[in-house]
Structure 1
Amino acid sequence: MEFTTRHFLMAILLLMLSRAPQGSPATPCPACGNTTVPFPLSTTSTCGDQSYKIRCSSGTLIFDTLNNSYPIESIDAKSQRLVIQPAALVQNTCVSTDKVHQGIQLNSTLPFNITSSNTIVYLNCTLTLLQSPLNCSAASACHAYINATASAASCQSGPLCCTYRTGGSSNSYMIRVRDSGCSAYSSFVNLNSAQPVSRWPEPGLEIQWLSPRETVCGSQEDCDSATSTCGPDASSTIGIKRCFCHDGLVWDPIQGVCSKKITCQNPDGCGDSTKKKAIIAGSVCGAGAAIILAIIAFLLYKRNKRIKEAQARLAKEREGILNASNGGRAAKLFSGKEIKKATNDFSNDRLLGVGGYGEVYKGFLQDGTPVAVKCAKLGNAKGIDQVLNEVRILCQVNHRNLVGLLGCCVELEQPILVYEFIENGTLLDHLQGQIPKGRGLLSWTHRLQIARHTAEGLAYLHFMAVPPVYHRDVKSSNILLDINMYAKVSDFGLSRLAQTDMSHISTCAQGTLGYLDPEYYRNYQLTDKSDVYSFGVVLLELLTAQKAIDFNRAPDDVNLAVYVHRMVEEELLVDVIDPVLKNVATTIELETMKAVAFLALGCLEEKRQNRPSMKEVAEEIEYIISIASAKVVE
């Protein structure tokens, strides 16, 4: 009797499945512990899709990489994603347990890849990563993680830590850990790094799987004849066949079945509405639309009123900030109308360049004077702060080797600066050939004069301005040349006024890679010697005509300062001198070139107390020029 009843129930079940509208699904895998295993994931050879294999071990799902295994924390079938648990740190060290496997390395032949939802925290990294696109700055979230995580306490003594957001492309397969990069890592899904570490999610790495194709078949017997037909896969080069859905059905990669095409989203049906319903609906919609339009009009009126009031308050606040110049001259205020007329309403043909702060346009004042007009980016609060800071700095100083500020405009949405126009481009443009014959026009005499002008401008900021000013972004692209090759230092957006009772300013390190004082980067202590270091790099650029950071050089020589220092140690200094100079140089000129190189290396001393002051640098350059001039007289 039990046998007959069981067979009867099975017959009823088979009859129900044969009449199911979506067709027969692929064989599902059994749950692993309390976790459901959705299609196409496969834990055995008889379920799921064999290209999507995972393992079930003692009630825990396991994801296998090329040379390691990681527990699966969660699975989301709808988004086709799973989260694995990253490797922990070896106890009392800053080394990940999977470092021996070089971190997480997925098999690129399988349909899995790492998503863009992951934020990777790299720990115990080498200093070579400063040249990478990773965020290794003092503001990186990795510092907060190390300080707030007990298991990462050993990482506090590491030389560097970095963060980056994974790419999420279909070819993103690895999180690499190695001696030449970083020795440890952690990963967080959908991390908001602005929150305290205590509110961060548990560590996890999100992996997505590609939508599976139709089920592979050998013959029609392998397919559900009611919903699909076994046929050749046109995209296959090895004769694979698949169960393709019948007309009117589509493949559902989440359920692994052929489903009916759904064109109606209304569960009650999609028949035509009655005329009465149409009239009622039309009346309701009309009345609702009228009410909505009235509300929108009122809100727009209130919004515009608030915007105008806010703009007026902002302009007044900016005027107060700019004119509070601590004894310096007040900035001349231009109207928005004057600025728009000068730049032809910010016409694209007047655009001179774009930087992190915003754009620079060429303009002409009413009397025909050419000017450079610098605008902060809309919505960029940092860029606006830098522009306002530049006004404050330039109102304190006045020197022939500093770019002249003519005034500013605070009426428009973003603050605007108006400078004297320096018509001959930047030093970097000349050295890198961006200006026709620019590098050829820079004779050794011209380069020495440019070095002297720049050094005198910086020495003025350090020793004559009250209070002293530290530029913080000295580089060849911030040195402008006029038609007579007279140099002027520009771009004071990152500058800081030094306080008279402080020997340094504790702040987050800012500047440009390749010019940044390593001691400032490590200690966040800003002094005049930070500008001296950056100027040393500029001297090397004048001598070699090479970029401060150039990935076309050998990996160990990417940094110009490191490269020249190595060549000097190997007694190959002459080999780094710009051939344009070296090929026509006299013996005395070569000696002065060597003198400039050794002066630059003095500026680049690791410890700032061993570097000369800018006043001493300017005097040394003056002495070198006198030697070169004596050669000319002879």
Structure 2
Amino acid sequence: MIFRDSIIAFLFASSILTSIGASNLSTCNKSCLGRLVDYPFGFSGGCKIQLNCSSVGQISLAGFQVYNMTSDSIMIVFPGKCYRPIEEIKKLFDQHYAPTWQNGLLLQNCTSSSSSCVVPASYLESSVKLQDCKNRNLSCHAVTNSGIDVLSYENISRTGCKFLFSSLFVEWSVKWNSSLSLDFETLQLGWWLTGTCQCSANATCTIVHLPNNSSGYRCRCNDGFTGDGFADGQGCRKVSGHRGGTKIAVLIGGIAAGTSCVAVALAVICCFFRRRCTTLKSQMSARRLLYEAAGSSSVHLYTYKEIERATNGFSEKQRLGTGAYGTVYAGRVQNDECVAIKKIKHRDNESIEQVMNEIKLLSSVSHPNLVRLLGCCIENGEQILVYEYMPNGTLAQHLQGQKGRALPGQCALQLPPKLLRPSPIFTRP
């Protein structure tokens, strides 16, 4: 009797432990010391894409620090390291993520001397710790987009290089086929889920084209909705408006303005001359910074009013896209030239220095995926870069044999003939 009761108790305890274990496998911890991540990311074995969380709340993946995650990519810090075996990058090729073609790899000890992207050695020495390497000869390897969203490990192994020093990332707009910025010691990973699309309502499924004729998918909420877009995640919920509060605020503001209009008028007169002096000082400071960054290159300094006029006050109708570092608008400057205007997000107190470094870099770097920098604006606390416009339409349209997409507004009527020639990125064998 006692033996039978012991067996029953053992079986009961085993069933409880089994159910607890199954529950732990299906549960995904999405918090790293209070910092939450969206599906499919998490920090436990039950998550589709498992990240690591340190004791101080630092998020990492495969031993590399993660500094940003978006609806289609993972941005990691890839510090310069002399004589890092090229095989180390293999751990960044997973069934759910891999490096994208927007990266340029800085390689050492290569059997081939050819480089598909060019970065001045002097700029490398000032940007990364290249002075620690005995052999400072680096080859820059970049892959042109051929319809595959991520690289394969074979793309890198067949370069014949022994060491991987670091990486540079070209922020690229696939929608408008133009580059936005260039960052050193940064690597972009594209991520996806396998199987058939399992998106929630009010979400769009995007197919990710992978090497070896395979594919994955991602989900993204439609305009007017927010969330992760996945049926197994939070899904999509409608963005609520605040119309009532806005009307009340307008009413209160109108009453206050009516009772103090005389004081405001006097204040405007007093502030006009002060602002005029401040603007002149700001323009002189901006010109000095631009000269230090770009030197003798033809990078034009635009005023904030010119940028506002070119974008119709940063109109949503002229917005080309929003990336990890800012928003890009289509615009037309005074000489009727169509341009792409990038309004950089305020990330930290060193944003002006970062913009100057980017101007210095883009003025001296030659890369097949980089467009020409035309000018900048450093005024009213904003950092804005102006690039040449690439009106080639989406990559998918070219691959499917369709015509390029029309430019917004009247820009299509102002295109010079040289922009109508086929882009080399599509004519290269």
Q: TM-score range by the shorter chain?
A: 0.3 to 0.5
Higher relative contact order (CA 8 A, sep 6+): 2
The structure that is strand-richer by fraction is 2
TM-score (norm: length of structure 1)? 0.24
More helix by share: 1
